[in-house]
């Protein structure tokens, strides 16, 4: 099954993240995220609205911190280091907004050779492709994921 990681944060990006999650689910991809709120919750909510499957990879030691749209909760207990697992578990990664934690995730994703696309607006980083719309971001991520990145 194709797994796409959706990363990011910021309440102002929730609408775009929800569209990303919905489009991924409509095209049969499982949505992987960090399991918490804002962009993570919106992506999962979008996926569930289209009948998709969601995985949340939490930093803490308890399932209870997962947002209500997570089907399968991974409790890592490793704090911020769970960011590595979030991007490593995706066949490709879509970044929606986000600050320092998202920067760490983009760095890890590329260190591992995962394809990353940044949905406008977001971090400006050389050698990381960008998409103007959720549709374009999903199209890029899925085409690269299914090509084996």
- Site residues (vs a second copy, CB under 8 A): 1, 3, 30, 53, 55, 57, 61, 63, 71-81, 83-85, 88-89, 91, 99-108, 110-112, 125
Q: Which is nearer to a second copy, 38 or 91 (CB)?
A: 91
The H or E element that residue 119 is part of is strand 115-119
Q: Which is nearer to a second copy, 19 or 58 (CB)?
A: 58
Q: Which is nearer to a second copy, 67 or 89 (CB)?
A: 89
Question: In whole angstroms, what is the distance from residue 9 CA to residue 142 CA?
Answer: 21
Least distance between a second copy and beta carbon 32 (Å): 8
Least distance between a second copy and beta carbon 2 (Å): 10
Question: In whole angstroms, what is the distance from residue 122 CA to residue 94 CA?
Answer: 11
């Amino acid at each position: 099954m194709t797994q796409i990681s959706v990363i990011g944060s910021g309440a102002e990006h929730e609408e775009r993240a929800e569209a990303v999650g919905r489009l991924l689910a409509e095209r049969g991809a499982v949505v992987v995220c960090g399991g918490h709120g804002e962009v993570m919750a919106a992506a999962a909510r979008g996926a569930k609205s289209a009948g998709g499957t969601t995985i949340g990879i939490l930093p803490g030691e308890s399932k209870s911190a997962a947002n209500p749209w997570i089907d399968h909760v991974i409790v890592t207990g490793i704090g911020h280091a769970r960011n590595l697992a979030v991007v490593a578990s995706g066949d490709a990664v879509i970044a929606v907004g986000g600050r320092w934690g998202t920067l760490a995730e983009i760095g890890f994703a590329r260190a591992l050779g995962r394809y990353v696309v940044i949905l406008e607006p977001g971090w400006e980083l050389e050698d990381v492709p960008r998409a103007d719309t959720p549709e374009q971001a999903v199209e890029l991520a899925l085409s690269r994921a299914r090509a084996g990145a």
